[in-house]
Amino acid sequence: MDGVPTSGNPSILAIDLGTSAVKLAAVTLRGTILGGEVEPQELQLLPDGGAEQDPEAWWSAIVRATRRLLDKGVVSADDIVGINISSQWSGTVAVDERGKPLRPAIIWMDSRGEPHVRRAAHGFMPVEGFGLARLLTWVRLTGGAPSLTGKDPLGHILYLKSEHPALYRDTYKFLEPKDWLNLRLTGRFASSYDSITLHWVTDNRDLQRIRYDERLLKMTGLPREKLPDLVPAASVLGPLQPEAARALGLSEKVQVVTGAPDILAAAVGSGAVRDHEPHLCIGTSSWISCHLPYKKTDVFHQMGTLPSAIPGRYLLTNEQESAGICLSFLKDNILFGHEELARDSNTEDHGQASADLYKVLEKEAERVPAGSDRLIFMPWLNGERSPVDDQRLRGGFFNQSLKTTRGHMVRAVLEGVAYNSRWLFTYVEKFVGRRLDSLRLIGGGARSRLWCQIIADVLDRRIQQVDEPVLANARGAAFQAALALGHLTVDEIPSLVPVANTFEPNPQNRGLYDELFREFVNLYKSNKAIFARLNRVRSA
């Protein structure tokens, strides 16, 4: 992004640690994005359901991006008054007493903990895989329950405890990705009320005093001494420690705020901070979320209200595993491939070449009629969490013919992700008990006008495309920091997030998309048993 030199303009260095990239932005205390940098990240997918990344690579990317941003002059180092991190959630970094990672980070896509979580959740009078007493305890105290896919930190830690006992013994603390980065910044082993929730060992009933619960620790088998201390959301952890300040080129006086998981930061950055105002994110994964004034759980569809990035508020949380990653997978692994992209591009900038290809694919998809001539794409490339919790689901195209073109496949992917969002949206509306007439749209997918219109048509709702939607997390992190530092109030946030475009549903597509959505859900119902057989865990 281009920016203009600033002087005497207090700003937040907002860091968004995603799965595919680190996105970093300088944001004023009123939410104006002055400039930003992106550093791609590598993801290692393992054959046994593992998904890992190198924490040190996260830190190196942040250092490089910060230095580049400062060198461009879009913001002065003296103008940076705070740092705040929005991060991928539901990950685990095992560290020693110095904070050094003992192994690669296990991230939110990793399902190796599934059998261990199922054992921990099992009990008398089973309900949806949980013993009834255990399920009621989790729901009453936390507001939710662990994912039986093993993709929560609880599953990660139980996996290490069972299958890597020596490493487990050597671990001083298990930290979320955000909390490990905050450790690098401040030297503190701490987690905020919001980010710790997916360990499922905290009593979240009193939002002013969230704490570890002895019953939950005993039930899960997680030891308190291997978990970080807890601090309130949107609070100041302290100043930059000298080593971090030198690496980033910033003053040791810069204050570090607790930060927030990506879903929670995005809720703030979307501008939808009033109760019952939803936003939809189409990023690597996807979710539909809104703030609510009460604690509630829908354990059958993997959603519930958890502590928000805004102190004293609950946020409806859920997640669909694969959204934007479906389109990048189609581009890189089926239509082109990384090698062909690198060989045929006329620029050394691989990222720009990739962006250009997305534009080509979108133009081809625009020429295909709504419904993709009834080609349906199932986006469950890495299983699913909400509204069904099933890590054995898989994706694919259905009803392909000899007339199917590349444009058909691209549009079908866009529509398939939209069908999946509608599937979740039906349960979100039931959860909140009211019709939600419009949704703010953020994430990389929101840059596509075609995708925005498809989502509006499939959901039959007004879609508001947030300005600079890719940086919603960074904007949310900046707002949260401004709140923590006393420069902003929550009531001011909606007016500070502009809407770039509004997309109304096309009534001519209503009947077609209703029909195809019903068949999309039927595909799940008809094939879930087949997926379970094909993708069952096999012993060595």
Phi, psi of 281 (to 5 degrees): -110, 130
The mean pLDDT value for 461-473 works out to 94
Q: Taking the alpha carbons of 476, 482, 484, 487 in that order, is the dihedral positive or negative? A: negative
Q: How far apart are CA 271 and CA 290, in angstroms?
A: 11
Stretch 228-257: mean pLDDT: 98
Count other C-beta atoms under 10 Å from residue 317's C-beta.
Answer: 27
Token reading at 172: 């001083």
Total Cβ atoms within 10 A of residue 73: 12
Q: Give the model's pLDDT for residue 128.
A: 85
Report pLDDT digits (tens) over 479-508: 999 999 999 999 999 999 999 999 999 999
Give phi and psi for 356, each to the nearest 5: -65, -40
Phi/psi of residue 323, nearest 5 degrees: -135, -90
pLDDT-based confidence at residue 418 (cuts at 50, 70, 90): very high
pLDDT at 348: 46
Mean predicted confidence (pLDDT) in 17-33: 93
pLDDT for res 338: 55
The mean pLDDT value for 454-473 works out to 95
Which amino acid would we find at residue 134?
R
pLDDT over 80 at 4, yes or no: no
Which of 333, 340, 331 minimizes the C-alpha distance to 410? 331
Q: In this predicted model, what pLDDT tens digit does every residue of 201-223 receive, in sequence order? A: 999 999 999 999 999 999 999 99
SS3 letters across 457-484: HHHCCEEEEECCHHHHHHHHHHHHHHHH
pLDDT at position 5: 38
What are the percentages of helix, strand and coil residues in the chain, rounded to 5? 45, 20, 35
* Mean predicted lDDT score pLDDT of the chain: 93
What are the pLDDT digits (tens) for 266-304? 999 999 999 999 999 999 899 999 999 999 999 889 899
Q: Which residues contact 217 (CB under 8 A, 6 or more apart)?
A: 201, 223, 224
pLDDT digits (tens, 9 = 90+) for 327-369: 999 999 999 865 555 555 544 455 566 778 899 999 999 999 9
- Rounded to the nearest 5 degrees, what angle is found at the Cα of 311, between the Cα atoms of 305 and 315? 20
**Which pair of tokens denotes residue 170?**
């050597």
What integer is the mean pLDDT of 99-127?
95
Q: With 70 as the cut, is the pLDDT of residue 538 above it?
A: no
Cβ contacts of 236-244, under 8 Å, gap ≥ 24: 236/484, 236/485, 237/182, 237/185, 237/186, 237/188, 237/190, 238/186, 238/188, 239/186, 240/83, 240/185, 240/186, 241/185, 241/186, 241/187, 244/184, 244/185, 244/186
**CB-neighbour burial class of residue 358 (10 A; exposed 0-12, middle 13-18, buried 19+):** middle
Residue 85: what residue type? I
Is the pLDDT confidence value at 456 over 50? yes
pLDDT average, residue stretch 79-96: 97
Residue 206 is predicted with a pLDDT of 94
How does residue 249 score in pLDDT terms, banded at 50, 70 and 90?
Answer: very high
3-state secondary structure (DSSP) of residue 69 = helix
Calculate what percentage of the chain has a pLDDT beyond 70.
95
Q: Summarize pLDDT for 502-529 with one digit per residue, the tens.
A: 999 999 999 999 999 999 999 999 999 9
Q: Would you call 492 exposed, middle or buried from its count of C-beta atoms within 10 A (0-12, 13-18, 19+)?
A: middle
- Answer whether 0.85 is exceeded by the pTM: yes
